[in-house]
Amino acid sequence: MLDGINLPVILGAAFVASASPGPATLAIAGTSMQQGRRYGLALAAGVMTGSLIWSIAASLGLGAIMLANVWAFELLRYLGAGYLLFLAFKSARSALKPAGAPANIALSSSLRRAYSKGLALHLTNPKAILFFGSLYAIAIPAGSSLVSLATVIAAVGLQSAIIFNGYALLFSHAGVTRGYVRLKRWFEGAFALAFGAAGIKVLLAGSASR
């Protein structure tokens, strides 16, 4: 049915990529602690949508086309780095606010905005298209049927949904939220450093490849 595709290997690689700490999981954790479960799940839905888009694109060979056109990949890389640095700035500004200051204006004002944030975060992540493009090129034999491709995309998507929603549920737990409230400035400072480091890493990765 799967035309020689090793689905466990694909799912294992996708699990490591999705579950490992990164910009998407950091954003889900931060939003869930700051604004609660609904907003965390909305942002996770945006991340999952972005992941699904890149997965479908890679299965259709669009990832290889993008990588072959350097200007398209470079544009995506700069957009992704800029967005990560923007998130770092907002987290740093929140961390530097004195205790008792008004709520962080970086918070999503609606579930739709939380979803859009997650979608933008993943669609501007150059590592996503690199990952799916490389994984599908190596693990899916040429000439695989549409049914096989659809099965792989659905399986990877379901696994991603479990992981990202799991992060939202975990970090919106009352105990975790109380810890965030007590240590808000430290959390926001850590998020600022993490987003900033990720943004700089994306920029430097392009310089190193030249």
Domain boundaries, the chain: 7-208
The whole-number pLDDT of residue 48 equals 94
Q: How confident is the model at residue 108 (pLDDT cuts 50, 70, 90)?
A: low
What contacts 3, CB < 8 A, 6 or more positions away?
A: 141, 143, 144, 145, 148
Would the pLDDT of 49 be above 90? yes
- CA-based end-to-end distance of the chain: 42
Percent of the chain with pLDDT over 70: 79
- Reported residue count of the chain is 210
Residues 89, 11: Cα–Cα separation, whole Å: 34
C-alpha dihedral sign at 105, 198, 194, 13: positive
pTM over 0.75: no
Token look-up 């890149």 returns 54
The whole-number pLDDT of residue 116 equals 92
